[in-house]
Amino acid sequence: MTPSSDSSAAPPEWTAPDGSWASSAANRRSMRGNRSRDTSPELALRKLVHAAGLRYRVAAKPLPGMRRTADLVFRPVRVAVFIDGCYWHGCPEHYVPPKTNPDYWRNKIARNIERDHDTDAKLVENGWTVLRFWEHQPAADCARQVCATVTRLKKLEG
C-alpha cells in the first residue's frame, strides 16, 4: 500500500487563504454563500410592495456619492428601505455571538451597527425617510408600513 492510498492518514490542517478570517473551510463556504442582496426577506417584501402597485429601485444608492445601498429606494418621495439581517446587524432579539474568533465578530457587528446609524443620519439630513426592518419581521407587516409611508409622501408631494 502506498502512502497516498492510506485512508487512515489524517487530512492536512486547513489554512485560510490570504485575507480570509474564516476559521475553517466549512465556515468559509458558509460565509461566501451569504447574499448581500435578493435575500428571502427582501424578495418577499418586494413582491408584496410591487403587488400593491408601487415601483422602486433595488439595491440602489439613495444619494449620489454614497457608497451604501438601500434594499428598496423610492427616489421621487425619498424613501430608503433596509432589511437588516439579524446576525450581521446585531438584532437585540436574535443575535448570538459566535464562539470562534469572538473579538473579531464583536467589532465587525459593532462597526455594522455604527455604519447603519451613520447611513440613517446622512439620509435624514438630506430629506429622506428611512425605514429599517429586521429579517424576522413578517413581510406583510413591513409591506404595509412601506406602502403607507410612500403613499402618504406621494400625497404630500402632489
> Has residue 124 got a pLDDT over 70?
yes
Contacts of 153 (CB under 8 A, 6+ apart): 77, 78, 79, 129
pLDDT at res. 36: 65
For residue 107 the three cell numbers come to: 467589532
| Short-list 119, 124, 127, CA closest to 156 | 127
According to DSSP, residue 158 is labeled: -
| Short-list 52, 68, 47, 62, CA closest to 129 | 62
Q: Compute and round to an integer the Cα radius of gyration of the chain.
A: 21
Which amino acid, one-letter code, is at 20?
S
Give the pLDDT confidence of 46-73 residue by residue, as tens digits. 999 999 999 999 999 999 999 999 999 9
